[in-house]
Amino acid sequence: MNDLDQADPSERHATDIAALASHWLEAFETALRAGDTDAIAALFQPESHWRDLVAFTWHISPHAGAEQIAGTLVGAQPSTKAHGFALAAGRTPPRQVVRLGVDVIEAIFEFETAVGRGNGVVRLVVDSNTPSSDGLRAWVLLTTLEELKGFEEHVDDRRPSGEAYSRNFGGDNWLDQRIKSQAYADRDPTVLVVGGGQAGLGIAARLRQLDVDTLVVDRHERIGDNWRKRYHSLALHNAIHVNHLPYMPFPPTWPKYIPKDMLANWFEYYADAMEINFWTGTEFVDGAYDDDAKCWRATVRHVDGTERVMHPRHVVFANGVSGIPKIPALPGLEDFTGEVVHSHSFTDGSAWKGKTALVLGTGNSGHDVAQDLYSHGADTTIIQRGSTTVVSVDPSAKLNYAIYDEDPPLEDCDLLAASSTYPLLVRGYQLAVEKMVELDKELIDALIARGFKYDLGEDKTGHQMKYRRRGGGYYLDCGCSGLIIDGEIGLLQFDTIERFSADGAVLQDGTTVPADLLVLATGYYTQQELVRRLLGDTVAENVGEIWGIGEDGEMGNLYKRTAQEGLWFIAGSLAQCRIYSKYLALQIKATEEGLIGPR
């Protein structure tokens, strides 16, 4: 998430810093309105970065270099009509900080476009040799669309009112109307959201505030079951202040690391409080897009086997990075007489006390499952298939969220965190990893001495970039590493296994590691495979990979228009879903209002 260094105390007076930032914004707007690419380029460092979230490009769009940035801005300006650039009122004031080792003035600003209002971040490089505003050049620029004019969210001074919330004597009260709204007896939703975890809830809450009729369907029996049904010991790996959902922060009385069932219950409460239309026990089974009618023919199946065909204009897949469990082909596995279960279906190890267990996989799930089995008295061995990044939850994993430990409020931190393009993310994670290695030196050395295969990522960007690129390959240590180091949990390398037999794993030297249970913590198929199964090969190939890093350095096909009209994807951590649900919702609303067309 966060590639930024902690803020340093300002060396300039706050009013001077604000004046410098304001002067740059004035010069930027003057050049932009004039369509002067040379003047705009002169306001940027030669090596500079601009990330646009829907404001200028109706897309999530990164740009690099002063000339490319200037050319794109000037090209977009005739339709964007951006104006009114000024320091954002009521936001964190401009300050002098160090980001990625660079001394900058960092400012949050506001502006307007022809159709909306936006916010942004600019980081101006501080050069002691040119202390005047004329010497400041932008290194980083972020522009975001925050709201559409005439279609503002129903929050604060624009709180909802009307018949649904009035004393409707002799008619339907609020609850009556909620029940009817959720039934969809007389209509189809405009947006059908598939999956009701943090991604589905976040986008549904955003769309409701924009008056876009949205239905969430989820195959589980209860809202929150996507967390509630996971293994018994699970809790979030990152701190609570990073993980709030849109509009409703967690209570200040809650623990730093939220247990899964606590989070699941909050999801249930959140859906009710945010008036989200939600069908539990309902599975999306297939869909096809009608190019003439500009809508989907989507079939959902209820738990009782009945089906409903709907015609939403948009389908949003919000069923997470972890979709269909991947079961690898293992030699001799068919001969194994013990129980085989994927980590997706594992709950707890209480049934395996006094028995032997093998856990294949050394990511988060593999380690947590192994530790749970060990804690219930099972003789447990973890099998490592490939090199793994291991990071302590505290203090090392916290480094990537350092900006959220600074003074700005959550909405400002979200803006600051969203400002980095791919090259800046890589550099930020590399700097964080250098510090992690220092903090975790004893842990790393002990794991390697134990025979554990350890790495820092392909370009030493650590676990965060592994998460973005492949959704796995790392472990945030909650105690299992110590058990492996001490020999309490066995460690076996997969390449020493010849095959599986009735009794367990047969090693290349002929010995057998016995097992009553084999847990496959072997990951999941990509979302593209899920699309293939539900929407067909043509749509899957047309859209391409979902998740991972796309050619432009952004997350592949997430939070933005795809090659398939009316098909959208949202996934990721609670923080990612909170931030990007806003921009996805604005794109859908803008499409509905005819402001943008297909990509």
> For the whole prediction, is pTM greater than 0.85?
yes
pLDDT average, residue stretch 147-154: 96
Q: Tell me the pLDDT of the chain averaged across its residues.
A: 94
Confidence band for 7, pLDDT divided at 50, 70 and 90: very low
Contact call for residues 196 and 226 (beta carbons, < 8 A): yes
204 token code pair = 């549904």
Q: Is 380 helix (H, G, I), strand (E, B) or coil?
A: strand
Q: What is the pLDDT of residue 275?
A: 97
What number of other Cβ atoms are within 10 A of residue 469's Cβ? 17
Angle between helices 198-209 and 260-273 (to 10 degrees): 20
397 has a pLDDT exceeding 60 = yes
What's the rounded Cα separation, in Å, for the pair 18 and 313? 45
365 token code pair = 């799930």
Length of the chain: 599
Q: What is the pLDDT of residue 129?
A: 53
Closest CA to 389 of 463, 306, 450: 463
The beta-strand segments (E) located in 149-251 are: 191-194, 214-217
What's the rounded Cα separation, in Å, for the pair 435 and 432? 5
Partners of 62 in the β-ladder = 51
Is residue 145 within a helix (H) or strand (E), and if so which, with residue range? strand 137-148
Amino acid at 271: A
Give 242-281 pLDDT, tens digit per residue. Answer: 999 999 999 999 999 999 999 999 999 999 999 999 999 9
Q: What is the pLDDT of residue 9?
A: 43
What's the rounded Cα separation, in Å, for the pair 257 and 243? 10
Whether the bond between 395 and the residue before it is cis, its omega within 30 degrees of 0, is yes
88 has a pLDDT exceeding 90 = yes
Which residues have CB under 8 Å from 229's CB, separation 6+? 220, 347
Partners of 422 in the β-ladder = none
Q: What is the pLDDT of residue 10?
A: 43
CA distances to 190, 230, 347, 386 from 360, in Å: 43, 18, 16, 11
Which DSSP string do the residues of 189-256 spell out, in sequence order?
A: -SEEEE--SHHHHHHHHHHHHTT--EEEE-SSSSTTHHHHTS-TT-B-SS-GGG-PPSS-PPPTTS-S
Domains in the chain, start-ordered, CATH in brackets?
Answer: 14-148 (3.10.450.50), 175-323+526-592 (3.50.50.60), 333-520 (3.50.50.60)
Q: What is the pLDDT of residue 2?
A: 47
What's the rounded Cα separation, in Å, for the pair 56 and 71? 12
Q: Is 188 helix (H, G, I), strand (E, B) or coil?
A: coil
pLDDT average, residue stretch 558-574: 96
What number of other Cβ atoms are within 10 A of residue 138's Cβ? 23
6 has a pLDDT exceeding 80 = no
Angle between helices 422-439 and 441-450 (to 10 degrees): 80
584 token code pair = 């996805």
Residue with tokens 């049934």: 351
